[in-house]
Structure formats: C-alpha cells, structure tokens
Amino acid sequence: MAPFAVALEIDGAGAHPAAWRRSAHTPDRHFDPDRLRRLGEEAERSGFTLVTLEDDLLPGTAPAGRIGSPERAAFLAEVTSVLGLVPVVPTTYTEPFHVSSALAALDHISHGRAGWVVGSTPDVAAARAWGRPEVSDAAGLRREAADSVHVVRALWDSWEEDAVIRDVPTSRYLDRDRLHYIDFEGATYSVKGPAIVPRPPQGNAVVFAAPELVDPVQADVALVSGRDVAAVASAAPNAAPRRFAEVEVALDTAGQTGAERVAALAQHADWPDRGRLRYTGGAEGFVRLLTELAGTVDGVRIHPLVLDEELPVLAKSVLPHLRVARLAAAAPSGQWLRTTLGLAPSVNQFATTEG
C-alpha cells in the first residue's frame, strides 16, 4: 500500500482570485524564474509527493498570465530530484501529438517523475485564439479529452522501451518492428504515429483527470470533488486505479486565523465555490481531515488560499504530523512517480511478444 499522497497546486498566487494581494511577491515578480525555482525547492523539501501546475492558452485576470506549464515543469525537473511534476495540459484545441511529445520529454528530463492533469477549455475565446472550430458543449469537451488521452497514450506506447538496439553488425540503430503506427481515427481528426520521442521512462506518464471530464478507466488518478468527506467518498470512482480528493484550504497563520484571511480577501473578490472540499482553520484540524480522508482516498491535491502563506504552514505543521503518524512518506519513495503512487507498471498496448 502506497503512502498517502499529498499534491500541491502551485500555479499563480493561490486558489483565491485575490490571493496575489497577500503574496510575498509583487505581480511584476510573478514570471521570475528564481521564484519558480524556490517554490519547487521548497515543495520538495517540505515532502510533497508532487506539484501540479494549472495552465491554459487564455490568460486569467490575476495573475493575468502564466508561463506554459510543461515549460515550467521542465525547468523544475532540473532543480528538484524526487518531486512529481504534473502540468495541466488542456485537450480541447491542443495537438495530441505535441502534448504527447512535451510530456514524454518531461518524463525523460525528470527521470520518470512526470504526470499530466488532463484539462479542457470551455471558454470559446480559446477557439479564436487557436484558430479552430468551437467546441463548447460538455459532450464535445469530453470527446476531445477522451481522444487526446487515447492518442497521447498510444503515442507513448508507439515505441517499445527496447526499440533502440544500436546493432553494429547490421548497421541498425532501431528495431523498426518495435515501433508502431497508432492509426488513430477519431470523430474530428486522425493521427498516424509513431511518436518522435522515445518511450518515456515510466512507460506512460501518470494521467490525472476529473471523472466529469475523462472516464476514470482512462486515467491513473481520478481527481475527485465534493463539498465534504461523504460527498468525496460517494463521488470517488471505483474504476480509477487511484483517487485524490481536491481540497481547498485556508489555514491559520502566525498572525491571523484562516477565517480572518478569507475575510480580508473577500473585500477584493469572492472565493468561488468550485464544488470542492474546503477547510478553514488550524493545522491540527487539517491533519485530522487528511487522516479521515486517508480512509477514503489515496491522496489529496491541496489548493492553498494563498500559496506563499499556506506553504510554510503546510511544511511545518501539517506534513510532519502525517509523517509521524506514518500516513505520508518523508519524500516520494518510488523510482518513478508511478511507483511512488503505488500504480502498476504501464503495459504497452503494442508490445510484441518476442522472447
């Protein structure tokens, strides 16, 4: 049984739309690579299992932009050594071929620490930004997500792991019988393959997705929403190999309670209800909540109210308690993210049965 996994969402300033007002950095430092570096180092040192990085081609409002998540994750791969790196990559208008290549590269660069939060882009402004036909209905978003996951996984499988043979006597670098055309034919496009990037170290990077968007059997980890533990428990799909609860958190800090901090930010903006479990209060209570959740799900993804404020509290007063209780590991313990999460090795759909 794998330890309870604790993921941290590190995009932007925090889960609250006005979080930037309480950040330790000003907006003009938002794109500073040193800030990203320190964030990755701190998340790893604190013992988080992995970080996720929200993304979309369309900018938000505060912050009004972000560097692409695969680029940020690749940068973090060089400044961390065990932390899982899991960018959000949308599927509605992106090219599955490019998505597959970027995530495979991330897995190579990080020696098997890559994951993918399957995203979607309901805002039709994205269609005009991409120059593609609009996809606006839920069924269309689900179709594009399902096709992307299918194609991306097939491309990861299109090179068997031993395809590079370097056989000097026959002058062959590759065994072409260990490369496979995927010949995908979907409702809106087709993809031939094979990939241009060799099979990722993990076989398939770990695929995270909300069950509302992607059929849980297509994912490795279902990201489960629900306003309380019971709702999370009933929404967690049995078909998914692993289930993580989505948790928004406003913790008490040295000078203020979580509730006071939320109230202060409420002067600027409301904190929209995304249907997720939300905890406001002290670290001890949050540890109790996580302990309770550990009986239901395999991990959590934490969305902090204000990243710069919650992260030190999580590092000092939450994660150590989980370690003392032997609920969470001191650091990701597997050779790959996949093994850290207790997932089975990837099976290659195209594997040839020779020897």
Partner 1 sequence: MTRTDRNDVPRPDAQLHFGVFFQGVNHWTIWTEPGSGSQIAPESYRAVAQTAERGLFDAFFLGEGLRLREINGKVHDLDVAGRPDAITQLSALAAVTTRIGLVSTSNVTYNEPADLARRFGGLDLLSRGRAGWNVVTTDNAWTGENFRRGGYLDHADRYRRAEQVLGAARAIWDSWADDAAARSTDAAAWAREGSIAPVTYRGDLVDIEVTGSLPRSRQGHPVIFQAGDSSEGRDFAARNADVIFSAHGYEFDDALAFAEDIRRRLAVAGRPADALRILPGSSIIVGDTESEAEEKARWVREQQITPGTALAQATLLWNVDLSGYDPDGPLPDVEPQEQDNSGAFGAARRPDSRATVAQWRDAAAAHGWSLRQTVIELGQRARSHVGTPAGLAEKFARFVREGAIDGFNLSPYLVPDGLDDVVDSLIPALQERGLYRTEYTGTTLREHLQLPPARAGLGVPPAAQFDREASPVAQK
Residues 23-82 close enough to bind partner 1 by CB under 8 A: 23, 26-28, 30-31, 33, 36-37, 57-59, 61-68, 70-72, 74-79
Tell me if 262 contacts partner 1 by CB under 8 A. no
Segment 291 to 330, residues that bind partner 1, using CB under 8 A:
none
Tell me if 85 contacts partner 1 by CB under 8 A. no
Name which position in 38, 45, 81, 98 contacts partner 1 (CB under 8 A): 98
Q: Which is nearer to partner 1, 139 or 168 (CB)?
A: 168
Tell me if 22 contacts partner 1 by CB under 8 A. yes
Tell me if 95 contacts partner 1 by CB under 8 A. yes
Provide the minimum distance between the beta carbon of 256 and partner 1 in the complex, in angstroms, as a whole number: 16
- Residue from 305, 338, 318, 342 nearest 47 by CA: 318
Q: Are 127 and 135 in contact (CB under 8 A)?
A: yes
Tell me if 290 contacts partner 1 by CB under 8 A. no
Provide the minimum distance between the beta carbon of 327 and partner 1 in the complex, in angstroms, as a whole number: 32
Provide the minimum distance between the beta carbon of 202 and partner 1 in the complex, in angstroms, as a whole number: 14
Tell me if 187 contacts partner 1 by CB under 8 A. no
Provide the minimum distance between the beta carbon of 31 and partner 1 in the complex, in angstroms, as a whole number: 5
Q: Which is nearer to partner 1, 146 or 283 (CB)?
A: 146
Q: What is the CA radius of gyration of the chain?
A: 21
Q: Which is nearer to partner 1, 194 or 299 (CB)?
A: 194
- What are residue 234's DSSP bridge partners? none
Q: Which is nearer to partner 1, 98 or 316 (CB)?
A: 98
Over the window 118 to 147, marking each residue x when it contacts partner 1 by CB under 8 A and - when it does not, the resulting string is -------x--xxxxx---------------
Provide the minimum distance between the beta carbon of 150 and partner 1 in the complex, in angstroms, as a whole number: 14
Name which position in 83, 191, 222, 232 contacts partner 1 (CB under 8 A): 191
Tell me if 276 contacts partner 1 by CB under 8 A. no
Q: Which is nearer to partner 1, 64 or 325 (CB)?
A: 64
Tell me if 237 contacts partner 1 by CB under 8 A. no
- What are residue 249's DSSP bridge partners? 279, 304
Which among 168-176, 241-249, 310-318, 344-352 is the span making contact with partner 1, rule CB under 8 A? 168-176
